Amino acid sequence: MKDLYWLTKKQLEVIKPHFPRARGKDRVDDLRVISGIIFVLKRGLQWRDAPAEYGIPKTLYNRFIRWSKMGVFDSIFTTLSSQNGVPEQLQIDATYLKAHRTASSLAKKGMYPETLARQVEA
């Protein structure tokens, strides 16, 4: 059995007010699609590698792109992060940041203050 991720019904009800209204045809099951989006993002997968239990990968991708451009996920994150006040601990994920290929040689060229240069070389 695969180790799939599923939002609970309670979790879905908390974020559902942020979803845009469906236009025309009914949307594909929100629980399945949102859970699939989270699964793909959590594991760093390509959309086409999403398990079949989440539905068609193109649906996951389209919903993620469309709702990202509309600010739906920003709205959800803002609301969820403000519900419990100031957190005791914060974590920053900088895996998406890129450093220029010459960034590692700045200390050698004297671009850093002396104390930082020693830390970088160590």
DSSP state of 110: T
Owning domain of residue 42: 9-82
In a domain, 73, yes or no: yes
In a domain, 121, yes or no: no
In a domain, 112, yes or no: no
In a domain, 120, yes or no: no
- Per-residue pLDDT of 17-40, as tens digits, reads 999 988 888 888 999 999 999 999
In a domain, 90, yes or no: no
pLDDT over threshold 80, residue 121: no
What integer pLDDT is reported at residue 117 of this predicted model?
Answer: 46
In a domain, 101, yes or no: no
Mean pLDDT, the chain, rounded, equals: 82
- Per-residue pLDDT of 47-75, as tens digits, reads 999 999 999 999 999 999 999 999 999 99
> Structural domain tally of the chain?
1
- Find, among 53, 25, 29, 27, the residue nearest to 39 by Cα: 53
DSSP codes, 50-117: S-GGG--HHHHHHHHHHHHHHTHHHHHHHHHHHTT-S-S------TT----TTGGGTTTTT-S-HHHH
In a domain, 114, yes or no: no
